[in-house]
Amino acid sequence: MRTWEQNIRRVVPYVPGEQPKDTSVIKLNTNENPYPPSPKVAAALRNLDAEQLRLYPDPAASELVDAIAETYGVVREQVFVGVGSDDVLAMAFLTCFQSERPILFPDITYSFYDVWADLFRIPYEVQPLDDAFLIRPEDYKKPNGGIIFPNPNAPTGLLMPLCQIEEIVHANPDVIVIVDEAYIDFGGVSALPLLKKYDNLLIAQTSSKSRSLAGLRIGFLFGNPKLIGYINDCKYSFNSYTMNRPAIALGAEAVRDQEYFRQCTQKIIKTREWAKLKLRELGFLCGDSASNFVFVSHPEHEAGELFAALKEAGIYVRHFRKPERICNYLRITIGTKEEMDALFAFLTQYMSGDRSN
Amino acid sequence: MRTWEQNIRRVVPYVPGEQPKDTSVIKLNTNENPYPPSPKVAAALRNLDAEQLRLYPDPAASELVDAIAETYGVVREQVFVGVGSDDVLAMAFLTCFQSERPILFPDITYSFYDVWADLFRIPYEVQPLDDAFLIRPEDYKKPNGGIIFPNPNAPTGLLMPLCQIEEIVHANPDVIVIVDEAYIDFGGVSALPLLKKYDNLLIAQTSSKSRSLAGLRIGFLFGNPKLIGYINDCKYSFNSYTMNRPAIALGAEAVRDQEYFRQCTQKIIKTREWAKLKLRELGFLCGDSASNFVFVSHPEHEAGELFAALKEAGIYVRHFRKPERICNYLRITIGTKEEMDALFAFLTQYMSGDRSN
């Protein structure tokens, strides 16, 4: 080892799902939206002027911030935007979780939380989900340095009712509680109305899933203006210009087109509900996901084997090897009806024994 | 103050130059390139498929990384890319400056260095430039936790010869030395060849200036594969997908079009050399900038007043109020010949007394 390596921060990074270059793959592994973004995004893309790329973007990304504020009925000072929800959550961790006390999050949840905590040297303590994979609000009423959980939770897809979220936020006035609503648009109830009552609440959302813009990298936070101001100070201490010109212009169009957004999310919800029935018919245990994915296990087929067989057939799903409690589960993104048909055709054949030995 | 504010990281952010929305302004304040990006960037923009934006980008941004590696004659494992050079430098600070000892940088330099150090709680010690605003290599031979300086330096524009850079890198084998080459393409000599000899060297560059892509946010680092690997681990612990699809596709085209790049930078160098003469004719003290800006003061006209008068006339330049040694200087970006003509026409009139009282 070279001496300079002593001063290097060593971390074990988050490993994102595979992004295969083979476009013939049926990609149900990273919770992308199977439908294209709003036609207004395509129109804005055609109107982008390459010449203008020589100029810095608006560092405040006002056009995008204003579109979000207007769509969600908040003031612009309540909105923070960044390069996907990972960026806004990383910035929220860095800004808000400065206590000596551990932050709390579920043991089974988005696997980036412990990575950020490790990166920023934030102490943390995981709270086990119950046997039905549900978050227990009472676990979040002990002394802590902050709280974060997704709603619906990932990768379970299970929704927590708003009254329980309020219970957690209300019990923790001295710390920031972050509700990560990456998947809220697929049938969940947002905690946004609670912002009026609680100034210790932060809500994260993203354009990657429900607005079909994973490739453009847009995430946002809602919070009280003072808290958003502190996060902006950290952001401006990290990178003045995080949102590039295409992201600002196209993102604003996507956020404004609420009608298209509703149509798309409704289609996905409909496919999901049908997929749940089909999966149960095939013998899968399938929870009541409120997101754009389902989290399933099969009593007779080991998840790792199913994952490999699906991959070999050109169908990518996600298999988390840890924690151990979920190593026999698969997370399957809801694709188009046609993609799900292909999935079920394969599974039916596989389970009929043609391939299982 | 609310109790949750006790756990908030408080920082004094970097303040970027103004980005006026009025497009009639002559904008010489943020070192943007006055020429559009390569025509190949415009072509790639027209070819972008809005439908594909629903999919995550390649987290490794391979197309862009490979274009940079090929253009600069290094291997892809030596290249790290991020959202502008601010992003790659922030990530380098977070990854590489983990010592208890202070990092060293000049007192007059890019004003983001102390902001990052404060954000990440990295101790630092500034080293005064000499009376001619030059970096003294001997100041960087004391015990330290890392070193960073721009070459050419900002906002002075002054270039350090490669032999002095090597002297600093060679004297500090136990820490990482970052050479911030944001402005190297306007006549400087890059430290890139030193990478073969020194594994403690990191070089930062950007597409914002010489490749006219400030609006697309692309910065990159060159270093040894092991060091770049550590920085990538931190990046993947912060945000898996920092580079959006437009940035990857258009950035790769810009980097590959070396011929256009050479033409543009040569035009700017030519305008700069002519501008230096004109400024000196007008009585300005103007150092020998090797960048796309000049750093000037006038014995008879106070910088703050000149700044205000220029702004009133619709010509934006940059005035740093601190540190005090440079509060009587203006940093003027090199624009097109026509923009500089307008600047000189105003200054000539102003100095003839028409406006000076």
The pLDDT tens digits for A15-42 are 888 888 888 899 999 999 999 999 999 9
The pLDDT tens digits for A302-341 are 999 999 999 999 999 999 888 889 999 999 999 999 999 9
Nearest to B107 by CA among B333, B331, B320, B330: B320
The span from the CA of B54 to the CA of B40, in Å, is 24
- Report pLDDT for A354: 60
Q: Is A208 an 8 Å CB contact of chain B? A: yes
Chain B, 104 to 133: residues with Cβ < 8 Å from chain A are 115-116, 118-119
CB atoms within 10 A of CB A294: 25
Q: Which residues of A touch B5 (CB under 8 A)?
A: 226, 230
Chain A, 253 to 282: residues with Cβ < 8 Å from chain B are none
The span from the CA of A111 to the CA of A101, in Å, is 21
- Report pLDDT for B354: 60
Q: Do A54 and B41 touch (CB under 8 A)?
A: no
Which of B53, B145, B173 is facing A212, going by the closest CB pair? B53
pLDDT for residue A150 is more than 90: yes
pLDDT for residue B357 is more than 60: no
pLDDT for residue B232 is more than 50: yes
Q: Do B237 and A58 touch (CB under 8 A)?
A: no
The span from the CA of B290 to the CA of A244, in Å, is 28
Which of B50, B115, B237 is facing A37, going by the closest CB pair? B50
Identify the residue whose tokens are 């005064």. B128
Distance from CA of B303 to the nearest CA of A (A): 25
Chain A residue with CA closest to B240: the answer is: A16
Half-sphere exposure of B261 (CA within 13 A, CB side): 21
Percentage above 90 pLDDT, chain A = 91
Handedness of CA A321, A322, A328, A333 (dihedral sign): negative
pLDDT for residue B77 is more than 60: yes
- Report pLDDT for B15: 83
Which of A3, A11, A57 is facing B234, going by the closest CB pair? A11
The pLDDT tens digits for A232-287 are 999 999 999 999 999 999 999 999 999 999 999 999 999 999 999 999 999 999 99
Name all domains of chain A by residue range, CATH numbers in brackets.
Answer: 18-36+259-354 (3.90.1150.10), 39-256 (3.40.640.10)
Percentage above 70 pLDDT, chain A = 99
pLDDT for residue A158 is more than 60: yes
- Report pLDDT for A79: 98
**To 5 degrees, how large is the angle CA B235–CA B145–CA B131?**
110
- Report pLDDT for B337: 97
At A286, give phi and psi (nearest 5°).
-140, 115
- Report pLDDT for A15: 83
Chain B, 306 to 345: residues with Cβ < 8 Å from chain A are none
At B102, give phi and psi (nearest 5°).
-70, 145
- The whole-number average pLDDT for the span B71-97 is 98
Q: Is B58 an 8 Å CB contact of chain A? A: yes
The span from the CA of B273 to the CA of B36, in Å, is 21
pLDDT for residue A91 is more than 50: yes
pLDDT for residue B36 is more than 60: yes
Which of A16, A97, A242 is facing B7, going by the closest CB pair? A97
pLDDT for residue B192 is more than 90: yes
Handedness of CA A296, A301, A303, A308 (dihedral sign): negative
Q: Do A241 and B98 touch (CB under 8 A)?
A: no
CB atoms within 10 A of CB A94: 24
Chain B residue with CA closest to A62: the answer is: B21
The pLDDT tens digits for B264-312 are 999 999 999 999 999 999 999 999 999 999 999 999 999 999 999 999 9
Q: Label residue A357 by pLDDT band (50, 70, 90).
A: very low
Q: Is A209 an 8 Å CB contact of chain B? A: no
Predicted structure pTM score: 0.96
Distance from CA of A274 to the nearest CA of B (A): 23
Q: Is B240 an 8 Å CB contact of chain A? A: yes
